Each structure stands twice: as structure tokens, then as C-alpha cells.
Amino acid sequence: MRASLVALGLMICASIFAIGRLGARTTTASMGEDDFRKMEQSWLDAASVPDLPTLRKMFSNDFIGTSFGGGVLSKNDVVPADGMSANHFPKSVLKDSTVRIFGDTAVLMGDVEMQVPQKAEDVRMTTVFQKHPDGWQIIAVHMSKAPTAAP
């Protein structure tokens, strides 16, 4: 009798786990390319203010990235801790982009127009999103200056 109860308990646990995994896949499948474009623009908007609470939620604790200065950036480089001075990104707009979704990971590659007062500047950006228990977060970013058009 005791062995039957243990086996039944294990079957219930396995079923709950399988249902939970299925639910995670359904949530992932419901995110479309435009949702990631909106997330990217939300990040750019939050970075221009800067809205630190929003940025802290958007970036994974193990975030890595590269930018114009070289070196590898961490979350603390992009989203400063409380009490630290906040860098801010100029107001920017996502222009052309391509999104690919690979299960619990999505990659967005696109052009971003940084609207700096002197002259708008284009940047190429690759952002990697990953599904975490609390939702999608940015786990990696690569930014590079877009080539200037020939006169």
C-alpha cells in the first residue's frame, strides 16, 4: 500500500511538472516578433529617462554586452545600483529590425536611430532575450556604429 502511494505521488508530481513545462511553451509561443520589437523600444525608452526600476526588471542579472568602447559590460554597467549616478542613453527609435524566436530565446537585430541634438546617429544593435520564470529578460546586447552613407 505504501509503495502504491509513493508511486501515485511520483506520477502526480511528474504530471504537474509536465503541465508546467507545457504551459511555459504555450506562453513562449504566444510571443511574436512584434512583441520583441515593442520590448526593444521599451528598453530604449526606459534608458533615455533613465527609468532604473524598469531597466532592472528588463535586464537579466547575468547580462553581458559590448558597446563602442570595447570590453564586456555587465548589468551594473548598464543599470547602475541605487545611489550611483545613472548614465542615460539618448532618446532612440528602433527602425528596421529582424527577429528570430528559438523556443525560450529570441534574437533581435536592427538599426536604432539615436536622436542626439547635434545630428541623428544610427547604431546597429543585436539584442538577445531569454524567457525566465518572471518573464522575458535581456541577456545580451551588441552595439556598433552603423557605417555612414557615402556622399
Contacts 24+ apart (CB under 8 A), 40-47: 40/94, 40/97, 40/108, 40/110, 40/125, 40/127, 41/93, 41/94, 43/127, 43/138, 44/89, 44/92, 44/93, 44/94, 44/112, 47/88, 47/89, 47/92
Q: Which of 3-17, 23-37, 110-124 has the lowest mean pLDDT?
A: 3-17
Whether 66 and 75 have beta carbons less than 8 Å apart is answered as no
When pLDDT is averaged across residues 48-57 and rounded to a whole number, the result is 90
pLDDT of 102 reads 96
pLDDT at 10 over 60: no
